[in-house]
Amino acid sequence: MSTTTWLPDLIYVNGRFESDRAIVCDDGKIQEITKRDDGIRLKNRALLPGLVNAHSHAFQRIIRGRTEHRSQHTTDSFWTWREQMYAAANRLGPEEIYNASRLAFLEMALTGITAVGEFHYIHHAPDGSTYDDPNLLAREVIRAAHDVGIRIALLRVAYARAGFEKEPNPQQIRFIEQSPDTYLKHLEQLLDAPELKTGMAWAGVAPHSVRAVPLDYLKTIVTFANERGLPVHMHVAEQPAEVSACIEEYGRSPVALLDTEGLLSKRFTAVHAIHVTPKAIASLARAGAVVCGCPTTERNLGDGVVPVDAYFDAGVRVALGSDSQIQIDLLEDARELEYHLRLQKTARNVLAPVNDDSSSALARRLFDCATVRGAESIGFNGGKLEPGAPADFFTVDLDDPSIAGAATEDLLANIVFSLARTAIRDVVVAGKQIVSHGLHG
Ligand SMILES: [Zn+2]
């Protein structure tokens, strides 16, 4: 197996940029980061670990710009947006799902994202019938990621009902698998698919929400995931209405329900987790669960602000997702975690660690959310540059106007707070270059 050596000006290792270092890759992994002068020279480039997008609905890329106007409702909200999104979802066949996903994944690759957690819930044909292969659409999404060249965790969604005491919603017939047995049978078929044996794709369990999956069903599939060591992702407390419906049904908030039923764990990622109490935050911390914030989507949908300051204080790990794809720019998500809190609290550097006043301390925390925390959330050993880790990384142009003139010690803060997406030049996944000079292919 031939090794490839890359020689950028700077490499981000152990939380800081080092010069005079080469990154040596072999068999899709990083072999060493060392002093070497032979290899592929990446002039005026800084090299960083690939970004990990922990929460995506790839097909929603096609409604970008199509929901930014008043609908027929007096007031627009998450729920009126959802009707528009369903209308689009219900018109997509397998080929369209592939094309929409490929478009989203291509944009992700160009922005330095090397792995994605795809929260996939369209399973059936538009009339609600199951395809001959019940994972046809999931496999089309995996094929799109494969053709672009990024890694994918296919988080296969369980969806059983419209909600507590709600009539079935005909717009959801493509998502529904009525029983946990059907869901698990289909999941096991997916786990056996050849494309999941390559290291580039794997599966996880994704109960959609407490609204869409009743408790017994939820317990059955989370138990299965825990026995197999699979990641578990779930939308939690995105909207106040979801919290009040859960209290009405179970007498407990979503996080309290998950906690008291023993469903939280280190493998559990609570997506959004916005409308939570201090007690809920403490429960997530105790369980070692991850929270995935999606701030570009959350501000677009009017969801609210993720209380990341409280999560950090409690020691909860926070990952990031591009979710609705209104923007695909994980560094924008990273800076918005902080910016939303600045607006809410009329203060600055809210998320900066207390005992570290170095100029990139806050940026380091936010960059960890976009890399290593995302990798932990979707269940792989990525998001960092060290021997044995996957050879997944991207470079930025140090001469780009958005970061030109940055001193080495301020460079990460320049990248996290100011980098233009177009400054991303090279992207490598599993040692294979998929973006060169800002172009894919
Ligand atoms: Zn989502």
Q: Which of 120, 186, 272, 275 is catalytic?
A: 272
For the chain, the farthest-separated pair of C-alpha atoms sits apart, in whole angstroms, at: 67
Amino acid residing at 320: L
* Known catalytic residue at 323: yes
Q: Which helix (H) or strand (E) holds 202?
A: strand 201-207
Query: CA-based angle 301:308:105, to the nearest 5?
Result: 55
Ligand 1 centroid, distance to 102 Cα (angstroms): 18
Mean pLDDT, residues 58-70: 94
**b/e for 406-441, b at 16 or more Cβ within 10 A?**
beeebbbbbbbbebebebbbbbbbbbeebbeeeeee
| pLDDT over 70 percentage in the chain | 100
* Known catalytic residue at 272: yes
Handedness of CA 218, 223, 228, 234 (dihedral sign): positive
Ligand 1 centroid, distance to 297 Cα (angstroms): 9
Ligand 1 centroid, distance to 232 Cα (angstroms): 14
Mean pLDDT, residues 78-82: 93
Is residue 214's pLDDT more than 90? yes
Q: If you write DSSP's letter for every residue of 300-338 in order, what string do you get?
A: HHT-----HHHHHHHT-EEEE--BT-SS--HHHHHHHHH
Strand partners, 152: 116, 201
Are 140 and 94 contacting, i.e. CB atoms less than 8 angstroms apart? Answer: yes
Among 166, 175, 238, smallest CA distance to 209 is for 238
- Residues 403-438 pLDDT 10s: 999 999 999 999 999 999 999 999 999 999 999 999
Indicate the burial class of 259 (C-beta count within 10 angstroms; 0-12, 13-18, 19 or more): buried
Ligand 1 centroid, distance to 334 Cα (angstroms): 17
- Residues 302-346 pLDDT 10s: 999 999 999 999 999 999 999 999 999 999 999 999 999 999 999
**Surrounding residues of ion ligand 1, Cβ less than 5 A:** 323
Q: What is the Cα–Cα distance from 183 to 159, expressed in whole angstroms?
A: 9
Is residue 1's pLDDT more than 60? no
Ligand 1 centroid, distance to 117 Cα (angstroms): 11
Is residue 126's pLDDT more than 60? yes
**Structure tokens given for 221:** 């599939």
**Dihedral, CA of residue 356, residue 358, residue 362 and residue 367, to nearest 10:** -120
**Structure tokens given for 180:** 């946990």
Ligand 1 centroid, distance to 4 Cα (angstroms): 37
- Residues 101-125 pLDDT 10s: 999 999 999 999 999 999 999 999 9
**b/e for 138-170, b at 16 or more Cβ within 10 A?**
bbbbbbbbbebbbbbbbbbbbbbbbbeeeeeee
DSSP helix/strand/coil, 57: coil
Q: What is the Cα–Cα distance from 299 to 154, expressed in whole angstroms?
A: 25
Contacts of 439 (CB under 8 A, 6+ apart): none
Q: Which of 259, 303, 323, 397 is catalytic?
A: 323
On whether the pTM is more than 0.75, the answer is yes
Ligand 1 centroid, distance to 60 Cα (angstroms): 10
